[in-house]
């Protein structure tokens, strides 16, 4: 099976490994950081300019804390790569794209056809999020 | 709960049919909707459970204690007796709709 | 009532397609049960004691006749001829096959219905006042706001993998007919001194293993900020909920552990972060939704007089028919609690009969209530007698609204794999013991609620009399509680003492009602007498 594209950015993938928040806050030159589920994404808000990659871990796919972390980072203006890693299934990836993830490092392989269908299945969304989708209420009223 | 089944203690493998949801019981060489067909799996329960689950022949399977009786195995727990029979408040929807006393077996 | 536009329909249709694919992946083995379970729960599909069970959403309990007919169709075609109305205004089917579930959802989508987020760790069905739009005491119809929140919380990308289920209720009257303070978020529409519309926001209520009445978190939230404030609460909870312990994950635990003050502080701070992002739904959208809830074209000049000469009709009229805000109209309560029947269960034939009555006599609208009954909200008084006759002939005219035989009961161990004890047989025995209508009316308002396990789907904590089924060394046993209420005077029931057998709990209840009859002061309900004299006299009578 051809490898499924799991990165949805135009720039080059970031090479530097992601360090923990604790390590990041102790260093001056790291540009990639990893957030564990439950850690406070807002700790990174003063440093968003120099971050090229933030990786957020999903230890179990049912643990939804990473969605809030991503939402907070994108709302604060982070434009770098936002990667979801860990127990990520194709069924979560549309939600993840919507809250601002633009790359994925799942534990298990993702079927390319299933992913394509997942991303194309819904034409409309009720609420605004970090993505470009116009919420339905806005489509209704212009 | 105390085990007063003595030599009549058995272990049954039970679960649900994946596509229909029907309660099923391991018969030794397949699955039946009727607990009377269930066999004692002895020490092989976990192996069977894993094998049958992987083969998609059962869903949500688990092992239970039961007592062997002339009428067939009687699960130790009331929940599994209700699973075996059907809802006591709708005798017409149970496995034994023609038997007005079927519900007493549950208790 | 609300009608889908192309956007709503597209979203529901896409969901059917998605679930069809997920089901196929499960049946082929591409998904394990562990992976599939949260996905099927997001579509209301449980694996229950006897089969798969499907819980269909009835948003804030409101339906058209056409939708009700579809529920009957599903009962006939895919189930075993009946459905069960639940304590959250939904309907459940007990005999569903997984391979047919996608087709059921497809059928539902043709009448603007679905099973989205009715189970699992989701934001669940919005519940509301079953008399909305008909009762005189509401400041406005709460359902447009419920619909607004329903849409805003459907497939919300940040809040689709929550720590646990999340239940929201909305009302707009002083009398709380939706038990809002026993929800994760309870919302009461109010007006401030300037006449502006807003919400009293209660957060952290719930029943189950650790019941709480929700504290008031915000006395006045401007109505236009409803969604952003709820999102703030959800985000705080999503972050801090205790994912290590399934019994400690609801927001009520967080509110209790942090304390109301600290929890409020965190929500308010998070809300200030969210507010500038423009996620609130503008008033123009609420107004669009509200148009669907405009009052129906009530006729004027109708008579308010009703011929009471049929004594059975008069009894039903007095008990089951409530006052309507429009002259000449009334609110009809259809009891799904026939004596000795199964609370909340209704056959496909009864479903179709009710749909017909709604279409012909209630401007094509009916509601499911959290007490597991049905409401026809807008009925001309001069039609009541003929409607009653039809209901009577169909076994749907039990005149017991809010009386002791109007029992709320979960399906219990007869149907539910979570249960410890059966609840329906207990309900049947109680109803039979108290079948005499004169006796029931003497006892008056007495809300009796039965749960088959600690999950409290029968709302036993909120019963004037509550029963909790437990497993006592492999035998079914029943704890008795007194003094709970789900109304605006919300309170949690107290356990009387050691538990009882099935027959024993019926006897204990009779002793409790005897104490009430002996001790009550003028105008007191059972609940009022209990609150006045306390547990001791009841305990003494019950345990001797």
Q: Where are the domains of chain C?
A: 6-109, 134-289, 311-393, 408-543
Nearest to C35 by CA among A38, B80, A106, A119: A106
**How far is the C-alpha of C536 from the C-alpha of C75, rounded, in Å?**
47
Q: Which of C27, C33, C474 sits opposite B77 (nearest CB)?
A: C474
Q: For chain A, what is the mean pLDDT?
A: 94
Q: Quick check: C425 contacting B, CB < 8 Å? A: yes
For residue B3, pLDDT beyond 80: no
Interchain CB distance below 8 Å, C342 and B89: yes
Mutate to test the interface with B, among C37, C50, C94 (most CBs of B within 10 A): C50
Two structure tokens written together for C399: 């005149």
Residues of B with Cβ-Cβ distance to C476 under 8 angstroms: 78
Q: Which domain holds residue B75?
A: 6-106
**How distant is the Cα of C524 from the closest Cα of chain B, in angstroms?**
35
Nearest C-alpha of chain A: how many angstroms from C157? 5
Instruction: Collect all residues from C whose CB is shorter than 8 A from any CB in A.
Output: 5, 7-8, 10-11, 14, 17-18, 21-22, 25, 35, 38-39, 121, 151-152, 154-163, 235, 238-239, 243, 273, 277-279, 281-282, 284-285, 288
- Per the CB < 8 A criterion, the answer to whether C185 and C202 are in contact is yes
Q: pLDDT by residue (tens digit) across C85-107?
A: 999 999 999 999 999 999 999 99
The predicted structure's pLDDT at residue B47: 97
Q: Is-contact C17 C382, C-beta < 8 A?
A: no
Model ipTM over 0.95: yes
Cα distances (Å, whole numbers) of residue C385 to A134, C247, C298? 52, 49, 19
Residue A2 has pLDDT above 70, yes or no: no
- Select the residue of A65, A127, A137 nearest C239 (Cβ to Cβ): A65
Q: Which CATH architecture has domain C311-393?
A: 2-Layer Sandwich (3.30)
Contact C5 A140 (CB under 8 A): yes
Nearest of C506, C504, C507, C536 to residue C519 by alpha carbon: C536
Query: Phi and psi (nearest 5°) for B59?
Result: -130, 145
User: Hey, where are the domains in chain A?
Assistant: 19-141
pLDDT at A3: 77
Asked if the C-beta of A27 comes within 8 angstroms of chain C's C-beta atoms, the answer is no
Q: What CATH number should be reported for the domain whose range is C408-543? A: 3.30.413.10
Is it true that C134-289 and C408-543 share their CATH fold?
A: yes
List alpha helices for C362-447, DSSP H. 384-393, 424-433, 437-443
Neighbours of chain A (3+ CB pairs under 8 A): C
* Residue C510, H or E segment: helix C502-519
CA–CA distance from C390 to each of C380, C386, C453 (Å)? Answer: 15, 6, 37
**β-strands C321-323, C52-56 pairing:** unpaired
Could C157 and A129 be called an inter-chain contact, meaning their C-beta atoms sit closer than 8 Å?
Answer: yes
Residue B59's SS3 state is strand
3-state secondary structure of C256: helix
As its CATH architecture, domain C6-109 has: Alpha-Beta Complex (3.90)
**Does a structural domain hold residue B63?**
yes
Rounded distance between C-alpha atoms, residue C419 and residue B83, angstroms:
12
Residue ranges of chain C whose pLDDT lies below 50 = none
pLDDT value of residue A27: 78
* pLDDT tens per residue, range A6-28: 999 999 988 888 999 999 998 77
Q: What does the pLDDT look like over B27-55, one tens digit per residue? A: 999 999 999 999 999 999 999 999 999 99
Quickly state the pLDDT bin for B1 (edges 50, 70, 90). very low
C79-84 contacts, C-beta under 8 A, 24 or more apart? C80/B93, C81/C347, C81/C348, C82/C345, C82/C346, C82/C347, C82/C348, C83/C345, C83/C346, C83/C348, C83/C351, C84/C342, C84/C344, C84/C345, C84/C346, C84/C411
In a domain, B1, yes or no: no
How confident is the model over A91-112, as pLDDT tens digits?
Answer: 999 999 999 999 999 999 999 9
- Residue A1 pLDDT exceeds 70: no
Residues of C with Cβ-Cβ distance to B90 under 8 angstroms: 342, 414
User: Hey, what CATH class is C134-289 in?
Assistant: alpha beta
Which one of 2.70.98, 1.10.287, 3.40.50, 2.40.128 gives the CATH number of domain A19-141?
Answer: 3.40.50
Confidence band for B4, pLDDT divided at 50, 70 and 90: confident
A137 contact residues in C (CB cutoff 8 A): 151, 281-282, 285
CA-to-CA distance for B8 and B69, rounded, in angstroms?
A: 8
pLDDT of residue A103: 96
DSSP C7-38: HHHHHHHHHHHHHHHHHHHHHTTSS-HHHHHH
Residue A41: list chain C partners with CB under 8 A. none
- Give Cβ neighbours of residue C115 (< 8 Å, ≥ 6 apart): C43, C44, C45, C54, C55, C56, C57, C105, C108
DSSP C390-409: HHHHTT-----TTSTTS-EE
Pairwise CA distance, residues C72 & C83, whole Å: 8
- Give residues with Cβ within 8 angstroms of C402, minimum separation 6: C319, C371, C445, C446, C447
Chain C interface, mutation test: which of A127, A129, A133, most C Cβ atoms within 10 Å? A127
What CA–CA distance (Å, rounded) separates C126 from C289? Answer: 15
CA distance C86 to C368: 8
Q: Residue A96: in which H helix or E strand, if any?
A: helix A90-99
In degrees and rounded to multiples of 5, residue A52 shows phi and psi of -100, -25
**Residue A11 neighbours by CB under 8 Å, 6+ apart:** A81
Nearest in space to C323 (alpha carbons), one of C250, C248, C377, C360: C377
Q: How many domains is chain B partitioned into structurally?
A: 1
pLDDT score at A142: 81
Is B48 a member of any domain?
yes
Q: CA-CA distance, A61 to A86, in Å (whole number)?
A: 8
Per-residue pLDDT, C46: 97
**B&C contacts, CB < 8 Å:** 70
Bridge-partner residues for A57, per DSSP? A85
pLDDT in the model for residue B24? 98
């Amino acid at each position: 099976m051809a490898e499924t594209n799991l990165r949805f950015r135009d720039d080059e993938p970031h090479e530097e490994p992601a360090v923990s928040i604790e390590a990041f806050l102790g260093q001056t030159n790291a540009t990639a950081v990893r957030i564990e589920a439950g850690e406070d994404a807002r700790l990174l808000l003063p440093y968003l300019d120099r971050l090229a990659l933030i990786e957020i871990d999903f230890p179990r796919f049912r643990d939804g804390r990473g969605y809030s972390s991503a939402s907070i980072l994108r709302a604060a203006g982070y434009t770098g790569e936002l990667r979801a890693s860990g127990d990520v299934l194709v069924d979560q990836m549309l939600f993840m794209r919507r809250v601002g993830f633009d790359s994925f490092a799942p534990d298990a392989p993702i079927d390319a056809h299933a992913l394509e269908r997942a991303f194309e299945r819904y034409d409309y969304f009720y609420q605004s999020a970090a993505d470009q989708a116009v919420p339905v209420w806005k489509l209704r009223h212009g | 709960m105390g085990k007063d089944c003595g030599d009549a203690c058995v272990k049954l493998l039970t679960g649900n049919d994946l596509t229909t949801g029907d309660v099923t019981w391991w018969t030794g060489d397949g699955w039946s909707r009727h607990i009377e067909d269930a066999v004692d799996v002895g020490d092989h329960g976990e192996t069977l459970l894993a094998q049958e689950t992987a083969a998609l022949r059962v869903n949500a399977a688990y092992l239970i204690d039961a007592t062997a009786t002339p009428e067939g195995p009687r699960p130790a727990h009331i929940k599994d007796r209700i699973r075996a029979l059907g809802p006591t408040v709708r005798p017409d929807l149970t496995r034994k709709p023609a038997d007005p006393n079927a519900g007493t077996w549950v208790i | 009532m609300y009608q889908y536009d192309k956007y709503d329909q597209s979203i529901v249709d896409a969901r059917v397609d998605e679930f069809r694919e997920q089901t196929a992946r499960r049946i082929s083995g591409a998904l394990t049960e562990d992976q599939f379970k949260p996905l099927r729960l997001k579509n209301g599909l449980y694996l229950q004691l006897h089969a798969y069970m499907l819980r269909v959403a009835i948003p804030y309990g409101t339906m058209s006749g056409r939708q009700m007919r579809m529920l009957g169709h599903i009962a006939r075609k895919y189930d075993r001829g009946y459905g069960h109305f639940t304590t959250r205004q939904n309907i459940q089917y007990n005999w569903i096959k997984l391979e047919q579930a996608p087709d059921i959802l497809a059928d539902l989508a043709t009448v603007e219905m679905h099973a989205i987020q009715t189970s699992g760790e989701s934001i669940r069905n919005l519940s509301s006042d079953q008399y909305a739009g008909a009762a005189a005491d509401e400041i406005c119809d709460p359902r447009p706001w419920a619909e607004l929140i329903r849409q805003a919380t459907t497939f919300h990308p940040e809040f689709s993998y929550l720590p646990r289920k999340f239940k929201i209720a909305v009302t707009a009257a002083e009398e709380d007919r939706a038990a809002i303070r026993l929800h994760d978020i309870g919302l009461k529409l109010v007006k401030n001194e300037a006449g502006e519309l807003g919400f009293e926001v209660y957060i952290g209520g719930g029943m189950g293993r650790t019941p709480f009445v929700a504290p008031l978190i915000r006395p006045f939230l401007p109505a236009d900020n409803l969604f952003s404030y709820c999102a703030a609460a959800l985000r705080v909870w999503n972050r801090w909920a205790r994912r290590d312990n399934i019994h400690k994950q609801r927001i009520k635990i967080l509110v209790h552990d942090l304390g109301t003050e600290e929890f409020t502080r965190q929500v308010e701070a998070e809300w200030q972060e969210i507010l500038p992002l423009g996620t609130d739904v503008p008033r123009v959208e609420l107004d669009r939704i509200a148009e669907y809830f405009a009052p129906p074209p009530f006729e004027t000049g109708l008579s308010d007089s009703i011929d009471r000469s049929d004594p059975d009709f008069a009894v039903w009229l007095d008990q089951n028919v409530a006052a309507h805000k429009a002259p000449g109209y009334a609110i009809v309560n259809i009891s799904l609690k026939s004596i000795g029947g199964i609370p909340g269960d209704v056959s496909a034939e009864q479903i179709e009969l009710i749909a017909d009555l709604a279409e012909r006599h209630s401007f094509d609208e009916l509601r499911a209530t959290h007490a597991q009954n049905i409401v026809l909200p807008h009925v001309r008084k001069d039609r009541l007698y003929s409607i009653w006759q039809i209901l009577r002939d169909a076994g749907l005219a039990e005149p017991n609204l809010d009386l002791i035989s109007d029992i709320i009961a979960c399906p219990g161990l007869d149907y539910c794999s979570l249960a410890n004890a059966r609840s329906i047989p207990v309900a049947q025995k109680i109803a039979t013991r108290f079948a005499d209508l004169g006796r029931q009316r003497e006892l008056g308002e007495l809300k009796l609620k039965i749960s088959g396990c600690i999950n409290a789907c029968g709302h036993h904590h909120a019963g004037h009399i509550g029963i909790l089924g437990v497993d006592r060394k492999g035998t079914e046993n029943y704890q008795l509680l007194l003094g709970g209420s789900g109304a605006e005077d919300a309170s949690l029931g107290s356990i009387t003492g050691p538990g009882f057998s099935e027959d024993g709990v019926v006897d204990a209840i009779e002793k409790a009602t005897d104490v009430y009859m002996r001790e009550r002061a003028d105008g007191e309900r059972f609940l009022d007498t209990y609150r006045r004299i306390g547990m001791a006299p009841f305990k003494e009578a019950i345990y001797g």
